A and B are shown apart, each in its own frame.
Chain A
Amino acid sequence: MSIVSAFLIPGNPLPFLRPDNPPWAGLAEGARAAGKALAESKPDVLLIYSTQWMAVLDQLWQAREHSTDIHVDENWYAFGDLQANLRADVDLVHACIEAAVAAGIKSKAVDYDGFPIDTGTIVATGFVNPTGEIKAVVAANNLYHDFAMTEKLAKLAAEQAELQGKRVAVLAVGGLSGKYIDEKIDIAADQFGGENDDVHNRKLLSLMAAGDVAALRAWLPDYAKATGADMGMKHLAWILGATGGFRGAKTLAYGPTYGAGAAVVQFEL
């Protein structure tokens, strides 16, 4: 496989927009460290899956050559605007679509002026690809695709990249525990929203660190149920599918984002 690096990056924009806030500073620093490691792996393309780009009909793939709109998050608009700077690897996107269709997954390219690139993709690429120079393949999170289907899509996309001889960095963009604090808080005192979320999140990260993929798979349904995990951790399926598994992982940062869990993780391939 041509996978040269793989990362879990939070899609919540708060660490990106307010890296000065102590509970979020570590996440911002960790994401920048991930960007440094990504650059050192010298990828030709980023293979991105963001839990926040949701689809319900067909599998969507971003095919706009260069997306540069200002984006305002529907929740966190008061913290500032986000600037998209995303270049699609159009050839690879179309190869992924053809391969997905051949595999029985109806897929479509998205190439529209003004299309709202999701917050997670903008934030993740803002951290790890700030100049926008590295082209990307971004796949939507179809809400009706399960973990296995997401894994299949990632595998298929990685295979297409290999066929094109490209070095690939995989980005899974999303959070951990999903319990936001539904009230106004002092952001400097941010903490996890669920009573045992911290314990569950740390166990998840330790399983990743050990590279114990079988145990991770076995525990994920319980973890997702207990913590309201972001999209059932389908973004982790993207990592597993694209990489074929990992030997271990290093947590570069971990913390709450208005109650929800977030971590920056670099996987050992």
Chain B
Amino acid sequence: MSGEGKIVAGFVAPHPPHLVYAENPPQNEPRSEGGWETLRWAYDHVRRAIDELKPDVLLVHSPHWITQVGHHFLGVKHLKGKSVDPIFPNLFRYNFDMQIDVDLAEACCAESEAAGLVAQMMRNPNFRVDYGTITTLHMVRPQWDIPVVGISANNSPYYLQLGEGMEQMERLGVATREAIRKSGKRAVLLASNTFSHYHFKEEPVPPEDMSREHPERYDGYKWDVRMINLMREGKIREVMDLFPQWVDEAFAEVKSGAFPWMISAMDYPTIPAVLHGYGSVIGTGNAVMEWRLAA
């Protein structure tokens, strides 16, 4: 690589396994009749954006790799196996095969430690990658031909006060940005989280029956719309100011850290975000959004 690396775009890229299930890719065992089309059409825009941007690496922060001690990074060059979702095993039994950008992961880990965070590399070759990471990556780039950096969700936003946890995620974002800059690579960031996370307690039969799909709670929906509008207006500081209230009142999954990590890594972009689509999955609010930082 020559010159300084850069973050060319960041996406909010939620991970309901229902989206993979609905698409019926060969990697996933269960078959469906479709469903959640509006969100899957939204991801079509992301796939085209990735084609245009030609990134060297995709970095994903997943709420479903929860770590108690520090921030962890996938650190095995090639990870392969079957990831069965422990919550939705009827929908997601995915044979994954991914290349990890270990050099960049190590750089992110080192920058995180230099920033005072607890960080470590995951070196176990038998590690089963979580369904959040896989779903986001599949929906963004089903060809699996771009190396990835997988980042865990340290439990600090739940274990500590929200503000302390968010401060860690924002420092992680700065560390990620610095590692990318030094790498010389073109990077895309993926915040794998849902917005409002109120959801159904029982699963419709069949799960893809879209006549049953709707936001679980109106207040959660209204919060999502409010925040999406602010993002579309480029008012990211207002978004972050409202962040604690959004988390509290919409039970928003952004609490797990992916969103503040990405926004911090992009240095709080004031360009308007592009909304590719919004829809509910078992009642949760899911937005697919893009901040394009470079051509």
Residues of A within 8 A of B (CB): 53-58, 70-72, 74-75, 77-78, 81, 106, 108, 110, 112-116, 118, 144, 179-184, 228, 258
By secondary structure, the A interface counts as: loop
Query: Counting CB contacts under 8 A, is B144 at the interface?
Result: no
Closest to B125 in A: A72
Contact indicator A115/B84 (Cβ below 8 Å): yes
Q: A56-B199, A57-B201, A258-B68 are in contact. Are A180 and B159 (CB under 8 A)?
A: yes
Give min CB distance, B88 to chain A, whole Å: 8
Closest to B152 in A: A74
Give min CB distance, A181 to chain B, whole Å: 7
* Complex interface residues of chain B between 108 and 161 (CB less than 8 A to chain A): 118, 120, 122-124, 126-128, 130, 152, 154-156, 159
**Which chain B residues lie closer than 8 Å to A183 at the CB level?**
69-70, 118
**Which chain B residues lie closer than 8 Å to A144 at the CB level?**
201
**Which chain B residues lie closer than 8 Å to A179 at the CB level?**
159
Given A179-B159, A180-B69, list of 10 further CB < 8 A pairs?
A56-B87, A56-B199, A57-B203, A70-B126, A78-B122, A81-B124, A112-B84, A112-B93, A182-B154, A258-B68
**Which chain B residues lie closer than 8 Å to A113 at the CB level?**
82, 93
How many pairs of residues, A versus B, come closer than 8 Å at their CB atoms?
Answer: 88
The distance in angstroms between the C-alpha atoms of A105 and B252, with both chains bound, is: 27
| 23 A-B residue pairings within 8 Å (CB atoms) | A53-B86, A56-B87, A57-B203, A71-B128, A72-B126, A74-B127, A75-B66, A77-B124, A78-B120, A81-B126, A106-B202, A108-B90, A112-B84, A113-B93, A114-B84, A114-B93, A115-B89, A116-B84, A144-B201, A180-B68, A180-B155, A182-B69, A258-B68
Q: A56-B199, A182-B68 are in contact. Are A115 and B127 (CB under 8 A)?
A: no
Contact indicator A75/B68 (Cβ below 8 Å): yes
Choose among B68, B70, B87 the residue that contacts A57 (Cβ–Cβ < 8 A). B87
Query: Counting CB contacts under 8 A, is B65 at the interface?
Result: yes
Residues of B within 8 A of A (CB): 65-70, 82, 84, 86-90, 93, 118, 120, 122-124, 126-128, 130, 152, 154-156, 159, 199-203, 282
**Which chain A residues lie closer than 8 Å to B87 at the CB level?**
54-57
Q: A81-B124, A183-B118 are in contact. Are A58 and B203 (CB under 8 A)?
A: yes
Contact indicator B89/A112 (Cβ below 8 Å): yes
**Which chain B residues lie closer than 8 Å to A70 at the CB level?**
126
The distance in angstroms between the C-alpha atoms of A58 and B89, with both chains bound, is: 12
**Which chain B residues lie closer than 8 Å to A108 at the CB level?**
90
Contact indicator A74/B66 (Cβ below 8 Å): yes
